[in-house]
Structure 1
Amino acid sequence: MNWLTEVLGTQKPIIAMCHFPALPGDPSYDKQGGITKVVEEARRELLSLQEGGVDAIMFSNEFSLPYLTKVRTETVAAMARIIGQLMPEIKVPFGVNVLWDPAASLDLAVATGAKFVREIFTGVYASDFGLWNTNCGEVIRHQHAIGAENVKLLFNIVPEAAKYLGERSITEIARTTVFNNQPDALCVSGLTAGSETSLQTLQLVKEAVPGTIIFANTGVRLDNLEQQLSVADGAVVGTAFKADGVFHNRVDVQRVKAFMDRVRAFRANLK
């Protein structure tokens, strides 16, 4: 038995994204509505996802566009405030993702009791955000220094809107990432949020590191979930749960229910 059952309660789990609106300091922040409006929007999304039956939730500052690779204090403070206010209503395991700052994600996890984080922990990239460098050794030491050693680390090895600076195959990246860093899971993504994860890439990664949990990180939808979950050990889902499948829209609880009904049927057939 791997940690998925212990932490998330099931095999082939669906981690739903709860996307926070723009936060204080972000270019699109609604100063008139203020943090109260952000909390209410986040509450609406959380309750819709839980009513739809998802297995776990990942809170992220998805609308802090354009992203920073070292976030500011106000971002983490605002996210902690939001999650703290929602805590009495959170009924499923949850994780956090402070885009794109792994140390800040771990800080937020410790502050809120999150079970997992997803981040770009390794690699050097040419990206929409400039030259994107990482320091996994420093981050892992920080994890242990702040008492976050039990927080599960989901390594995104195909960053959205970025390309590895050196020419390396996905199988090379997967093997060395696992050997050097011992991640709790690898996340395989498409080009942007909502873009379908290549099934061939998922298969290559799964074959390269067969003992490692693999998540399909973007683009899992009602029409491809059986195909994606036949290879991946679980999925992170955001856009597919939004009204009309549009990234900027609110969560549509009926879409969530239809999706999770299919997931449960798929899981039942595995037994």
Structure 2
Amino acid sequence: MNWLKEVFKTEKPIIAMCHLQALPGDSGYDQEKGMEWVIEKAREDLHALQDGGVDAVMFSNEFSLPYLTDVKKETLAAMGRVIGEIKSEITVPFGVNVLWDAKASLDLAVATGACFVREIFTGVYASDFGLWNTNCGETVRHQHAVGAQNVKLLFNIVPEAAVYVEQRNIREVAKTTVFNCRPDALCVSGLTAGESTDTQILSEVKSVVPNTVVLANTGCRIENITTQLSVADGAIVGTTFKKDGKFENGVDYNRVKAFMDLVKEFR
């Protein structure tokens, strides 16, 4: 697990989500405000997160609802433009997540210089987005083909809004995923964005893969973060950093700082 501290320069890192507004082609895209507004909102959130003390940021097309598992070219192009426009202002390690397309995430990481991606790399699911299949072997070969060998792969093993076609115990999923796929980290989630990750599930996962990084992936709040970090090796945090703790809102610097002050005291 040495890579975690090498990349994030701290134990128990907090990776903050920088949710991009709806992009061209998305149902919620605001054509009147255009891409300049999308870029400015991303810039505002980035600075609030960095100024508040987070250890890293991850850019995702969170408002591209409903999500695709084969993302359109215009989405990838738009995300590349947003990150490119504000990259000189990024002062912490950053990653990308193109929802929900693992190869596209790797392509964006190479294009922008991101050092990690989070995705659904393994499994077959019944989901809100239809029957959802993956091909980890093909994706990892694509990773090497595009020169993304040094990009860390964060495997989400409890996909939001989806269940395995064949029900499997989370301990089995974690163990076989690590054995077969060699992930850099496992991300353990709640049911939806902002839904707490069960500490018991975190403990179960960590117990069977003690030498693999395990991250709390959703629902980390100031009320539970020290409990989560007592088990997890770090956390990915989005909704709780928003104004009033609401998914739809922009990032609130004061909420970020209060959260990170507590994390730093815990560390």
Superposition TM-score, scaled by structure 1 size: 0.98
Which residue in 1 is equivalent to 2:85? Answer: 85
Distance 1:164 1:199 in 2: 21
Residue aligning to 2:134: 134
Q: Which residue of 2 aligns with 1:169?
A: 169
Residue 2 of structure 2 is aligned to residue 2 of structure 1: yes
Matched to 1:32, the amino acid is E
In structure 1, how many angstroms separate the alpha carbons of the residues matched to 2:142 and 2:167?
Answer: 29
The 2-side partners of 1:232 and 1:41 are apart by 31
Map of 1:109 onto structure 2: 109
Q: CA deviation at 1:167?
A: 1.7
1:58 aligns with 2:63: no
Q: Secondary structure at the match of 2:236?
A: strand
Residue 232 of structure 2 is aligned to residue 232 of structure 1? yes
Report Cα offsets for 1:185-220 as digits up to 9, x if no partner: 000000000000001110000001111000000000
* One-letter amino acid of the structure 1 residue matched with residue 22 of structure 2: A
Residues 214-265 of structure 1: CA distance to partner in whole angstroms, max 9, x if unpaired? 0000000000011000000000000010011111111000000000000000
Query: Partner of 2:252 in structure 1?
Result: 252
One-letter amino acid matched to 1:204: E
Query: What are the within-5 Å matches in structure 2 for residues 1-271 of structure 1?
Result: 2-267=2-267
Q: 2:17 aligns to what SS in structure 1?
A: strand
Deviation at 1:2, TM superposition (A): 1.1
CA distance in 1, matches of 2:246, 2:37: 21
Structure 1 distance, partners of 2:247, 2:234, is 20
TM-score (norm 2): 0.99
3-state DSSP of counterpart to 2:95? strand
**Structure 2 Cα separation of the partners of residues 228 and 5 of structure 1:** 18
**Which consecutive unaligned segments of at least 5 residues does structure 2 have?**
none
Give the superposition deviation at 1:149: 0.4
Q: Hey, which bits of structure 1, 4+ residues long, moved more than 4 A?
A: none
Within 1, Cα distance between the matches of 2:45 and 2:259? 16
Look up the equivalent residue of 1:52 and give its one-letter code: G
CA distance in 1 between counterparts of 2:11 and 2:72 reads 36
Aligned-partner SS, 1:6: helix
Question: Secondary structure of 1:29's match?
Answer: coil
Matching residue's letter, 2:76: V
> Aligned to 2:148, what secondary structure does the other structure show?
coil
Provide the rounded CA distance (Å) in 1 between the counterparts of 2:167 and 2:30: 41
Could you tell me which amino acid in structure 2 is paired with residue 107 of structure 1?
Answer: D
5+ residue gaps, structure 1: none
AA matched with 2:172: E
Alignment partners' CA distance in 1, 2:208 and 2:140: 23
Q: 1:140-172 CA deviation, whole Å, 9 max, x = no partner? A: 000000000000000000000000110210000
Paired residue total:
267
Give the residue type in structure 1 aligned to 2:84: G
Q: Distance in 1 between matches of 2:253 and 2:177?
A: 37
